[in-house]
Structure 1
Amino acid sequence: MTQARLVVDLPEGPWVADVSRAHPDATFQVLTALAGDGPGFALVWITGAPIDPILDDMAAHPAVTELSVAQRTEREATVQFETSAPLLLIAAKRAGVPIEMPLEIRDGEATIDVTGPHDRLSALAAQFDDLGVPFEVRYVRERVEPSELLTDAQRELLLAAVDAGYYDTPRTCSLTDLAERVGVAKSTASETLHRAEAAVIREFVDDLPGYVQREGSEERSEGD
C-alpha cells in the first residue's frame, strides 16, 4: 500500500475554504465525515481563535445547510454540520480512496493523508486536477505491513522480551535472563533486539507529523 500526504489549496466556495481564510489564526480539524449522493455530514473541532465570529460565519455560509454546536468555549468548539459542497470528500469518493481523519484545514489549505493502491492515489490527483484544485505532494512512500516489518527471529525475540518483562519499568528480566530463556547467546539476543527496536522505532518516527529524514541518513536495509 502507498501512503501520501497532500496539501490542497482549497478554491472559493466550500465553507471551510471561505471561513478558514476569513479566520487564518483558527485551525479546523475534521474529526469524522461522510459524503453521500447529496449533502455531506461532518464533525469539526475548531481551535485557536475567538469562536463566536467563526460560528456566525459558518451559520451564514450558503454551503452550510445545518449546524449544531456540541460544545464550546471562548476559543474552541466542536460542531456537527451538514454541507452541500464537501469537495474533498467527493474527490476521494470518486477516486475510491478514503481520506484519513483527522483532516486539518488552516487558512484555506487542507493537509490530507491517504493510503491505498498507487493507481487510486493517482486517480485522486486526477480528480483534483479535473476540479481545478491546486495541490502539493509532501511525500509518497510505501507503507510497511507489521507482519513484514520484522524477521521471524526478531518478532519472536521481541515478543518473548515483552512477555518476560524486559521492557517493564522497573525491568524484571535482564538481557542475560532473556537470552537463556530463548536459548541463544547474549550477544545474539542483544543484536537481534537492537535491529528489531531500530525497525519499529524508524517506522513509528516516519509516521510522526512533520518528520523529514535527514539528508545522508541510512535507508532501511533488508534484514535489519
Structure 2
Amino acid sequence: MPQARLRVDLPEGPWIADVSRQHPETIFEVLTALPEEGQGFGLLRFRSDTVESVLEGIRAHETIEEVSMIQQTERTATIQIVTSRPMILLAAKRSGIPIEMPVEIQNGTAIVDVSAGHDRLSTLGEQFDAMGISFQIEYIQQRLHPNQLLTDRQQELLSLAASMGYYDTPRECTLTELAEEIGLAKSTCSETLHRAEEVVMKKFVEELLPHSDLDFESAQ
C-alpha cells in the first residue's frame, strides 16, 4: 500500500495553527486524536522554552473548549484538549484515511503521514481544497511487508542471530556458533547474514530518510 508524507499549511482559525504561529519555535506532537463533525478530542505534547505562555494561548483560543493538564515540566507539557475545529482530522475521516500518529506541527505547518490507495489520497486532497488547506506531497512510496524483503532463509537466520545474542554488546555467540546452530557452512552463513543485513539496513535508512539523496541502486 502506498505511504505518503504531506506537508500541510494550516489556515488561520484552528487553535493549533494560530498558537503554533504565535510560538514558532514550539514543536507540537499530536499523540492521539478522535474527530467528530462538531468536535475533536486530542492528546498532545509540546516542547517550548515558554511553556506557560503557550498554555495561556491555548486556553484563551476561541476554538478550545476544554484543556486538561496531564504532565508538565519546565520545557514540556502533555495535555488533553477538546476543540471545535479539528480540520485535518475531519478531512482524513471524510476521506476514509487514518492518519498515522504522532503528527508534528510547528509554525502552522503539519507533517502528516498516511497510508492509502491513490484514489483515497486524491479524495483527501479534494477535502483539503474544500477546507482551504494547502499542502505539498513530500513523497509517496510503497510500503512493503517484511516477508517481501527477505527470503525465508534470511528471516530464519536473522531471527536466530538475534535470539542467540549475536547482536548483543558484547556478543553472546560467534558466527561459528551461529552457523553450527542453523546448519550452514561458516562462509555461507556469513554471506546470507550480510545480504539480509544489507536489505534491512537500506530499508531502514529509506524509511528514516525517505527523501534523502541516497541512491543505493546506482551505488552498487
Q: Give the TM-score, by structure 2 length.
A: 0.91
CA contact (8 A) 2:6 2:112 kept: yes
Task: Give the equivalent residue in structure 1 for 2:211.
Answer: 212
In 2, the alpha carbon distance for the partners of 1:132 and 1:207 equals 30
Call closer, same or farther: CA 1:182–1:219 in 2, change over 3 Å.
farther
User: Alignment length, in residue pairs?
Assistant: 220
Q: CA deviation at 1:220?
A: 11
CA contact (8 A) 1:28 1:46 kept: yes
CA contact (8 A) 1:23 1:49 kept: no
In 2, the alpha carbon distance for the partners of 1:76 and 1:166 equals 38
Task: Give the equivalent residue in structure 2 for 1:57.
Answer: 57
CA contact (8 A) 1:20 1:105 kept: yes
Task: Give the equivalent residue in structure 2 for 1:145.
Answer: 145
Higher mean C-alpha deviation, range 143-152 or range 155-164: 155-164
**CA deviations over 1:131-164 (Å, ceiling 9, x no partner):** 2211111111001112212111111222222333
| RMSD, aligned α-carbons | 2.0
- 5+ long unaligned stretches in structure 1: none
Higher mean C-alpha deviation, range 8-17 or range 45-54: 45-54
Matched residue SS, 2:18: helix
Q: CA deviation at 1:87?
A: 0.2
CA contact (8 A) 2:37 2:90 kept: no
Q: CA deviation at 1:102?
A: 1.1
Letter of the aligned partner of 2:20 in structure 1?
Answer: S
CA contact (8 A) 2:139 2:210 kept: no
Matched residue SS, 1:160: helix
Large movers: runs of 4+ above 4 Å: none
Call closer, same or farther: CA 1:45–1:163 in 2, change over 3 Å.
closer
Letter of the aligned partner of 1:17 in structure 2?
Answer: A
Q: CA deviation at 1:219?
A: 6.9
In 1, the alpha carbon distance for the partners of 2:122 and 2:168 equals 44
Higher mean C-alpha deviation, range 182-191 or range 75-84: 182-191
Call closer, same or farther: CA 1:180–1:130 in 2, change over 3 Å.
same
Letter of the aligned partner of 1:212 in structure 2?
Answer: H
Matched residue SS, 2:77: strand
Matched residue SS, 2:190: helix
In 1, the alpha carbon distance for the partners of 2:84 and 2:218 equals 45
Q: CA deviation at 1:52?
A: 1.9
Task: Give the equivalent residue in structure 2 for 1:87.
Answer: 87
Q: CA deviation at 1:187?
A: 1.9
Q: CA deviation at 1:41?
A: 0.5
Q: CA deviation at 1:180?
A: 2.6
**CA deviations over 1:189-215 (Å, ceiling 9, x no partner):** 11110111111112222222x553435
> Structure 1 residue 193 and structure 2 residue 193: aligned?
yes
Task: Give the equivalent residue in structure 1 for 2:122.
Answer: 122
Call closer, same or farther: CA 1:189–1:47 in 2, change over 3 Å.
same
Call closer, same or farther: CA 1:172–1:61 in 2, change over 3 Å.
closer
Higher mean C-alpha deviation, range 212-221 or range 143-152: 212-221
Higher mean C-alpha deviation, range 154-163 or range 91-100: 154-163
- 5+ long unaligned stretches in structure 2: none
Q: CA deviation at 1:178?
A: 2.1
Letter of the aligned partner of 1:136 in structure 2?
Answer: Q
